Structure 1
Amino acid sequence: MASLRSLTDFEPVKSEIAALFAARVAQGSAPGCFFSVFDEDGPVFEGGFGCRTIDAAAPDRQTRFRIASCTKSFTTAALLILRDAGQLVLDEPITKFVPALRGTLPAGAPVVPSLRMLMTMAGGLATDDPWADRQESISQDAFRAILETGVRFTTLPGTRFEYSNLGYALLGAVVERVSGQSFPAFVTEHLLRPLGLEATTFDHAMVPEAQMATGYRPLDGGWLALSQSGPGAFSSIGGLMSTGADLTKWASWLCEAFRADLPERGPLSAASRREMQTIHTPIAPEHGEDLLFKGYGFGLIAQSDARHGLTVHHSGGYPGFSAHMRWNQGARIGVVGLENATYSGAWMPVAAALDRLLGACAMKPATVEPPPEIAALGRTVAALIARWDDDVAGSICLENVAMDRSFAERAAELAALRARVGPPQADRAEILPADGPMFGRFEVRVPCRTGMIVGLVLLGPPEPARVQTLRFRVVATPPG
């Protein structure tokens, strides 16, 4: 993907995006907001509007906001660091580390969730945003008392998505039990410092007053300032405060995990970061969402649509604050947004901004050259499209191809397609991946006089590469 900086006529796009965030303040969604846009080369542009505190200056890249549930990706990264060091197994039951929890479902034979189930929001615990967001500062003893009294499960663990902050509080307790450190101390030592996130912290008392945004909620046409909570047993659900600059660094580091051209960087491997951004628990798309699929990974949501492919994101909402980070893996472009109002919906301008950027970057995807053996297979398929030969087909196809549909049938089909669009020009064939750069499934597009014959190829598992599925279709040239 080309850098955003290389786009022509980019200034009007920047103005449109800035206007999305300026409107949040003008429309009374929040007293202040800050946004940052990044691409594969780093931050591209940013802006702040309104005020960090009533009658104070606008937020800038060093203004701290609560990032709320965007903290959950730090929680899962901490667990993966311990997993990768061999100190825990994700499929172990949570009660190995937090024995006070008791399962209640199914009745008569209750089970408890595993760490993986809790990380992927499939732990069976009830949705709990308003209650849990007020529990950050409670002590471990108070948390234990809640668990010993009993907590409510609403679904059988491991069977479906249900967002649970309590589940992530349990995961924070796991980090403490395994590491021997407090959760904030472990995250600071193993993630914040190594990645240079110097302005990110769990303790608002450590932030200079002039750099901390004040959180507000609406009241009688104005804004009521809210007090800050301190670190405690629920810090792992949403306790971090950060800046636009630091949150951009974090999102960029997660996004770059899919780049094969970069060396390993930071405290968690690229493979583990990709694992965070892989769907583990499906989520049913909401009405009106034009999505191919959507689901929860490890502290992140992944979704795909037909226009832009895979997008990864997570929101954060807390008393006084709203946050959102979002990036598109194919384009390697992302946006973060921060606001200082309770549950104000920072995701809305961020999602709109990323969609506008992806539209501005719309272009023909970079050509991916097929490996030599795939190129040779593709040329052979193109030759078969032009003139079928049973012996040639048998040399590149696995045994099931002729069993599934005879070569005589395939030859007749191609003869009918050639009659529709004219003689194929096999020497001008294009070989294009149909499922990513690995060419496990690819298309062979052969131009003809009035259209194109396309061969869809699916390779089988055995080496050397041979064809297990071979289908053909016509793409006609539009009239005029």
Structure 2
Amino acid sequence: MTVAASTLHAVEAVFADRIEAGTAPGASWAVFDRSGIVASAGAGVASLDPARPAPGPDTLFRIASCTKSFTAAALLLLRDRGLLELDATARSFVPEFVPEIPGDLEVDPTVRMLMTMSGGLPTDDPWADREESMTREEFSATLAAGIRCATVPGTAFEYSNLGYAVLGQVIERVSGATFTDFVTHEFIEPLGLDMRFERPSDPAVPLATGHRKTEGDGWLALPFTGPGVFSSIGGLFASARSLATWGSWLAEASTGVERGPLGATSRREMQQLMRVAPNRHTPPPIPGASSPPPVVYGYGFGLFVEFDERFGAIASHSGGYPGFSAHMRWHAASGLGVVAFENATYARVSQGAEQALSIVLDAADQRSPVTPSPVPWPETLEASVVLSALVNDWSDAAASAVLATNAGLDVPYGERRAAIEAAWAAVGGRTAESLTPVDAECDSPDHLVWFLPGATGRLRVEARMTPLAAARAQTFVVKVESSEASVG
């Protein structure tokens, strides 16, 4: 999809303005669609070291919790290979994971519950962000020492990093490989992504250093942590270009394209709302403008899903690590998306990414979901012709040929015929035009509403077909357009 240069300049200004305002030393961003990268750039500095180059689309940043989309994809890949049941208990793979449940209920969190942030574990930012390098032995000991749930598993949304650390161990114990090796060999390498779990040792590789603010609005460079058990919650280094490629690959699943290690069906599954969360505040997309919160907001598999009042469904995930802020988001209907990084703790680059995607979608006139209008099944149209004839000249035999078995049981044919005659009388009787349907409306292939003119008004006729291949009308409703009286 073509994005105008003026739109991309507006996106660039969003991140340049944020750096100028002091949100972070530097930023990197990219706009993408289902075919790949549309535009990318950087702003500010990647490091306080003047010898380091300015950040650009190929500069590596920590993407933090955006990594959870890789963890979820890995679990679905194992599921698709027949090696994992998502409704199995996490304890069946990680036996030391036996959390205390409120009310001492006997409920075990399942893999699916942990994937959808409904495992009952309490929110654990920022503790978990500092635990990336924990070893497997230390993690097992931590779990064995005792874990507590805040809610009964499977009943509520609560964001948990610990849950995704447990899922990382599920992946290891099912696959027989380390989490980092599995993700690298199954996703990063096949898709050609510039990502890794280790800090690059080559000084020539462009790398952003993380920072936090100090008193007086100065910046303090922070050390990097190495991979460990908590890498499955947020351990990846990635460039804006590579994370945009990942987002583009996930977004193209809506078209049914089969490409890469995970099938389109499973990639679409990741982007479905699985657990509703409390509505969050959405920053205004344009300074000074108001923006309503999402109509619905929650979690899928490793991705947040929201339904924006203006644009429809949007998939996203933010990431926050000591020294870094990351965000990726894309519009389900068009595949247009934005990824953005900043190298500062709590920079909330998600606000800039949301604003940038709003600019792109507004310019592309994507203010409502782009979905094709439903087309009636041929059987639905054929039934409407027969039903129109029945409304004009009732025949029990003709009715039995077009109506499903429930219709005569719900309203006997005699009652239907009498009610139809009363409806005609209410609109002045039949005319020469009464056999010609007008203003047909379809909201699903099996459902059709149309109108039959009378002398002084018209009748509203509604039909809904059964789901059988040899479909018949299970719903047949005739009523005066302006009256509540009907026969169904």
TM over 0.5: yes
The 1:242–1:393 alpha-carbon spacing in structure 2 relative to 1, beyond 3 Å, is farther
Following TM superposition, by how much is the alpha carbon of 1:11 offset from its aligned partner in structure 2, in angstroms?
3.0
Distance between the aligned counterparts of 2:233 and 2:136, measured in 1? Answer: 14
- Counterpart secondary structure, 1:4: coil
Partner residue, 2:209: 214
The 1:287–1:251 alpha-carbon spacing in structure 2 relative to 1, beyond 3 Å, is closer
Structure 1 residue 343 corresponds to structure 2 residue 346: yes
Partner residue, 1:4: 2
Partner residue, 2:303: 300
1:112-123 correspondence runs (5 A): 112-123=108-119
Partner residue, 2:246: 250
Partner residue, 2:43: 49
Distance between the aligned counterparts of 1:252 and 1:418, measured in 2? Answer: 59
1:54-69 correspondence runs (5 A): 54=48, 55=50, 56-69=52-65
Structure 1 residue 265 corresponds to structure 2 residue 255: no
Which letter maps to 1:135? E
1:259-408 correspondence runs (5 A): 259-260=255-256, 262=257, 264-286=258-280, 289-362=292-365, 366=372, 369-377=375-383, 383=388, 396-400=402-406, 407=416
Q: Deviations over 1:7-31 (max 9, x none)?
A: xxx3332222222222211221121
Structure 1 residue 30 corresponds to structure 2 residue 11: no
Partner residue, 1:87: 83
Specify the structure having the higher radius of gyration (Cα).
2
The 1:463–1:129 alpha-carbon spacing in structure 2 relative to 1, beyond 3 Å, is same
The 1:466–1:194 alpha-carbon spacing in structure 2 relative to 1, beyond 3 Å, is same
1:36–1:245 contact (8 Å) kept in structure 2: yes
Of all paired residues, the percent bearing the same amino acid is 42
- Counterpart secondary structure, 1:326: strand
- Counterpart secondary structure, 1:313: strand
Partner residue, 2:285: none
Distance between the aligned counterparts of 1:27 and 1:361, measured in 2? Answer: 28
The 1:440–1:222 alpha-carbon spacing in structure 2 relative to 1, beyond 3 Å, is farther
Which letter maps to 1:276? M
Distance between the aligned counterparts of 2:40 and 2:351, measured in 1? Answer: 17
> Higher mean Cα deviation, 358-367 or 295-304?
358-367
Distance between the aligned counterparts of 1:305 and 1:368, measured in 2? Answer: 22
Following TM superposition, by how much is the alpha carbon of 1:90 offset from its aligned partner in structure 2, in angstroms?
1.4
Following TM superposition, by how much is the alpha carbon of 1:373 offset from its aligned partner in structure 2, in angstroms?
3.0
- Structure 1 gap ranges (5+): 476-480
Q: How many residues align?
A: 459
Which letter maps to 2:2? L
1:191-210 correspondence runs (5 A): 191-197=187-193, 199-206=194-201, 208=203, 210=205
Distance between the aligned counterparts of 1:290 and 1:473, measured in 2? Answer: 40
Following TM superposition, by how much is the alpha carbon of 1:40 offset from its aligned partner in structure 2, in angstroms?
2.6
- Counterpart secondary structure, 2:43: strand
The 1:169–1:415 alpha-carbon spacing in structure 2 relative to 1, beyond 3 Å, is farther
Structure 1 residue 159 corresponds to structure 2 residue 165: no
The 1:109–1:368 alpha-carbon spacing in structure 2 relative to 1, beyond 3 Å, is closer
Following TM superposition, by how much is the alpha carbon of 1:386 offset from its aligned partner in structure 2, in angstroms?
9.7
Partner residue, 2:224: 228
- Counterpart secondary structure, 1:338: strand
The 1:89–1:223 alpha-carbon spacing in structure 2 relative to 1, beyond 3 Å, is same
1:431–1:445 contact (8 Å) kept in structure 2: no
The 1:181–1:58 alpha-carbon spacing in structure 2 relative to 1, beyond 3 Å, is same
- Counterpart secondary structure, 1:376: helix
1:455-466 correspondence runs (5 A): 458-466=464-472
Following TM superposition, by how much is the alpha carbon of 1:207 offset from its aligned partner in structure 2, in angstroms?
5.6
Distance between the aligned counterparts of 1:213 and 1:425, measured in 2? Answer: 72
Q: Deviations over 1:61-104 (max 9, x none)?
A: 21111111110010011111111112221111111221112221
Distance between the aligned counterparts of 1:275 and 1:175, measured in 2? Answer: 19
Which letter maps to 1:45? A
- Counterpart secondary structure, 1:190: helix
Distance between the aligned counterparts of 2:336 and 2:422, measured in 1? Answer: 47
Following TM superposition, by how much is the alpha carbon of 1:413 offset from its aligned partner in structure 2, in angstroms?
6.0
Q: Deviations over 1:29-63 (max 9, x none)?
A: 12111221112322212221112123454321211
Partner residue, 2:287: none
1:379–1:426 contact (8 Å) kept in structure 2: no
Distance between the aligned counterparts of 1:318 and 1:386, measured in 2? Answer: 67
- Counterpart secondary structure, 1:133: helix
The 1:429–1:213 alpha-carbon spacing in structure 2 relative to 1, beyond 3 Å, is same
Following TM superposition, by how much is the alpha carbon of 1:145 offset from its aligned partner in structure 2, in angstroms?
1.6
Distance between the aligned counterparts of 1:301 and 1:417, measured in 2? Answer: 52
Following TM superposition, by how much is the alpha carbon of 1:318 offset from its aligned partner in structure 2, in angstroms?
0.7
Following TM superposition, by how much is the alpha carbon of 1:267 offset from its aligned partner in structure 2, in angstroms?
0.8
RMSD: 3.4
Which letter maps to 1:50? G
